[in-house]
Structure 1
Amino acid sequence: MSVTDKILALLGAFSQEERALTLTELSQRTGLSLPTVHRRAAELVAWGALERGRDRRYTVGLRLWEVAALAPRGHGIRDVALPFLQGLYDVTKQQHIHLSVRDHMDVVILERLSAPNAPQAVSRAGGRFGTFATGAGLVLLAHAPSEVREEYLSKPLVPYTEETVTDPGRLRSMLAAVRRNGYSNSDRMMATDVHCVGAPIYGPDGTVEAAVSICFRAGTQSVHALAPSVRTAARRITQALRAEPEKATTRPDAKRLVQ
């Protein structure tokens, strides 16, 4: 294993559930010897990628957040989209608004806006899902390269609820409908009480770069009533992404744009 592999293994050992780890835990999670972990962790602390607390546990350092903020598929899209996400939230008053991108076979959440009374969500900004059963996920899979779709459909699909579509043929029909209609409809596919609607965001090259979606309690809203607002928000974000950088930062009131 190269030095780079060891460094990446250490950083990859942290998760949403385990945000602080001891040297021993890092060794166990990575399979690296304790002396190696001690040496590499010290280097990461010196650079700022890790921080060491008074309890001698290590956490991800602020320097990594600074570097991650430079990623154009992360904060670049988020910065442009955020006013329109806020506008969509203000207009629809839905429980969760998501901005997501596809990273090969995963869905990565770039931003989430949630109502104060919204139920606890499994998603979070920076979260990663190995499923396309969500509203945003269906959009991203529908517009992914054909080889990505076939790779996903060739594997056994996990049913999260009784409504999760796992039949490849039926899922292909759903994805075709997403491309045809311009929005997705995930009805209780990820959770028994959650309904999501998503729409594609296109980049300057005309390919789908991200997806915006809203999630609400199943049975409380009409998909046909919400889909136009979601599609409008996605279209406005697309226009902003295609605009010149200085113009993309001087947008009109986003709330009006999604009405």
Structure 2
Amino acid sequence: MTMPHAGTPERSVVDRALSVLGAFDRQNRTLTLSDISRRSGLPLATAHRIVNKLHGWGALERSDEGGYSIGLRLWETGTLAPRCSPLAEVAQPHLMELHARTSAGALLVIRDRVEGLCLSFAVNGPHALMSCAESGDRVPLHASATGLVLLAHAAEAVQNEVCAGPLRAYTPTTLTHGPALRQALAKVRREGYAVTHRTPDPECSAVAFPVRTADGTVVAAVGVVAQADTFRPAKLLPLVSATADAVSQHIRFAGRRAAGATA
């Protein structure tokens, strides 16, 4: 049995199970047992034991070729997340309409600590734009229009953490200096929306507006991502604003209805 190094706490069973699940990502959807062991940092025997448990519960599925992928049971559990499912369901038809009217990729993003998380999307044409490739993608707060909207309305502690860096330079136009990012966030709050050019994708530009609850709390951001060469913010701004307002109104109505049902 492999013993932990002196002074190094042994990883709990939960930690090890989470490291197995964390071995999967967008670029590694199917992994062999050896892959899981290597990517999780677990001994092969330990990985095998945990994988068997997860497979038995349905968190992992095994193909005929022996590879493992995330199972439907885990996906079903994930859909219960209260911040995700209702918002995504409400937003999707509005995003589809926004996409149809702009021919641009349309997306809904929420903040998960110091990252954005794409909940819902409508993407156009043969080129899947980086920032809204599919639901579940992570979006950098400092380098995307939706991220800037979310960060501008986040708690001061979150803003301080992100601005303190390091800030990854996705392209030459990415904001990588904390004071410059703070100025950009102040501009977003002042103007009510965010616009980015060629960041985080050098071929794309974007615009985003906040989604608010009845008390004004920003819970998400609606944005569109278009090819930078044909990007026309003056045309997109009113359309994206109207979509964000429509999603906000649905959220407020759902909140009033829920409050009435429990009165």
Asked whether the two chains share a fold, i.e. TM above 0.5, the reply is: yes
Given the superposition, is the C-alpha separation of residues 87 and 44 from structure 1 closer, same or farther in structure 2, using an over 3 Å criterion?
same
Q: Would you say the 8 A contact 2:54–2:60 is kept in 1?
A: yes
Q: Give the SS at the match of 2:186.
A: helix
Tell me which residue corresponds to 1:5: 15
Cα distance per residue 1:209-231 (max 9 Å; x no partner): 11110011124232122111111
Separation in 2 of the partners of 1:24 and 1:119? 31
Cα distance per residue 1:4-40 (max 9 Å; x no partner): 1111111111111111112222111222222222221
TM-score, normalised by the number of residues in structure 1:
0.89
Unaligned ranges ≥5, structure 2: 1-10, 259-263
Tell me which residue corresponds to 2:216: 206
Tell me which residue corresponds to 2:238: 228
Separation in 1 of the partners of 2:128 and 2:35? 32
Matching residue's letter, 2:20: L
Tell me which residue corresponds to 1:238: 248
Tell me which residue corresponds to 1:100: 109
Cα distance per residue 1:149-187 (max 9 Å; x no partner): 111111122222222222222221211111111110111
Q: Of 131, 134, 137, which residue of structure 1 is paired with 2:147?
A: 137
Q: Give the SS at the match of 2:38.
A: helix
Deviates more, 1:126-135 or 1:171-180: 126-135
Unaligned ranges ≥5, structure 1: 249-259
- State the Cα distance separating 1:247 from its structure 2 match: 6.7
Tell me which residue corresponds to 1:192: 202
- State the Cα distance separating 1:2 from its structure 2 match: 1.4
Given the superposition, is the C-alpha separation of residues 71 and 213 from structure 1 closer, same or farther in structure 2, using an over 3 Å criterion?
same
Q: Give the SS at the match of 2:118.
A: strand
Paired positions, count: 247
Separation in 1 of the partners of 2:218 and 2:107? 16
- State the Cα distance separating 1:191 from its structure 2 match: 2.2
Matching residue's letter, 1:114: V
- State the Cα distance separating 1:3 from its structure 2 match: 1.3
Tell me which residue corresponds to 1:51: 61
Separation in 2 of the partners of 1:174 and 1:77? 27
Mapping of 1:148-187 within 5 angstroms?
148-187=158-197
Tell me which residue corresponds to 2:3: none
Q: Of 14, 24, 29, which residue of structure 2 is paired with 1:19?
A: 29
Deviates more, 1:198-207 or 1:11-20: 198-207
- 1:113 matched to 2:118: no
Q: Give the SS at the match of 2:201.
A: coil
Deviates more, 1:217-226 or 1:233-242: 217-226
Deviates more, 1:34-43 or 1:144-153: 34-43
Separation in 1 of the partners of 2:92 and 2:129? 21
- 1:61 matched to 2:71: yes
Deviates more, 1:223-232 or 1:121-130: 121-130
Matching residue's letter, 1:46: G
